[in-house]
Amino acid sequence: MMSCMTHLLDGDQHELDPLERQIVAVFIDGVRVLGLPRSIGEIYGLLFISEVPLSLDDLVLRLHISKGSASQGLRMLKSLGAVREADGGAERRTYYEPAIELKRLVGGFIREQVRPHLESGKAKINRLAETAQEIDDTDRRKFLGERIGRLETWMSSSGKVLPILQKILGQ
């Protein structure tokens, strides 16, 4: 039965209106700062400003992105806890809605993007500290010890700051 069904009256339902474009632009910039791809911002932005949950096909149609992008983008947003599947009626396709509590968004970002790097960083620094023990030159070893110690302090501070951050951003 081809592609009817949406635009009956009510104008071309699948171009973004100016306000939606502005919102999407804000989120494109926003996720960029966090080092996430543009499509993530587009998808989350459109969900954020939509009154009703949207399906993958809605996103493809309205944002002019490929099905692949939409699928991968939704996957990432789900893993970040930034979108959830709307508890659908008897529908076949699944609809998505945004999580809009800052606490949740920050928590997901920290869990998925920050912690893993912190962990692997700490591991590398531990190996480093061992390597430094084996240096013969006493003065050099002392200097290295100081600097590596500082690195460890940095990592520890970063670790401590995360829960505080979450607390503050949870209102």
Partner DNA sequence: CCCTTTGTTCAAAAAAGTTTGAACAATCGC
Partner DNA sequence: GCGATTGTTCAAACTTTTTTGAACAAAGGG
Residue 157's binding partner, choosing from its own copies, DNA, none, with beta-carbon cut-off 5 to 8 A by kind?
its own copies
Choose which of 114, 145, 152, 159 interacts with its own copies (CB under 8 A).
114
**Is 115 near its own copies (CB under 8 A)?**
no
SS3 labels along 66-101? CHHHHHHHHHHHHHCCCEEECCCCCCCCCEEEECCC
Name, in order, each residue with C-beta under 8 angstroms of 160's C-beta and a sequence gap of 6 or more: none
Show the tokens assigned to 40.
């993530």
d(CA 31, CA 42): 9
Q: How many residues bind DNA (CB under 7 A)?
A: 25
Sheet of 54-55, strand order: 54-55, 95-98, 83-85
Number of H helices, E strands in the chain: 7, 3
Given 72, 113, 158, 166, the residue binding DNA (CB under 7 A)? 72
Sole residue written with tokens 């071309």: 12
Window of 91-99, 112-120, 130-138, 140-148 that interacts with DNA by CB under 7 A: 91-99
Q: Give yes or no for residue 133 binding DNA (CB under 7 A).
A: no
Question: What is the distance between the alpha carbons of residues 108 and 44, in angstroms, rounded to a whole number?
Answer: 14
- Which residues, numbered 36-95, are part of the site for its own copies (CB under 8 A)? 48-49, 51
Q: Which residues form the interface with DNA (CB under 7 A)?
A: 1, 32, 35-40, 55-57, 64-69, 71-75, 92-94
Residues contributing to the site for its own copies (CB under 8 A): 18-19, 22-23, 25-26, 29-30, 33, 35, 48-49, 51, 100, 102, 114, 117, 120-121, 124-125, 127-128, 131-132, 135, 140, 143-144, 147, 150-151, 153-154, 157-158, 160-161, 164-165, 168-169
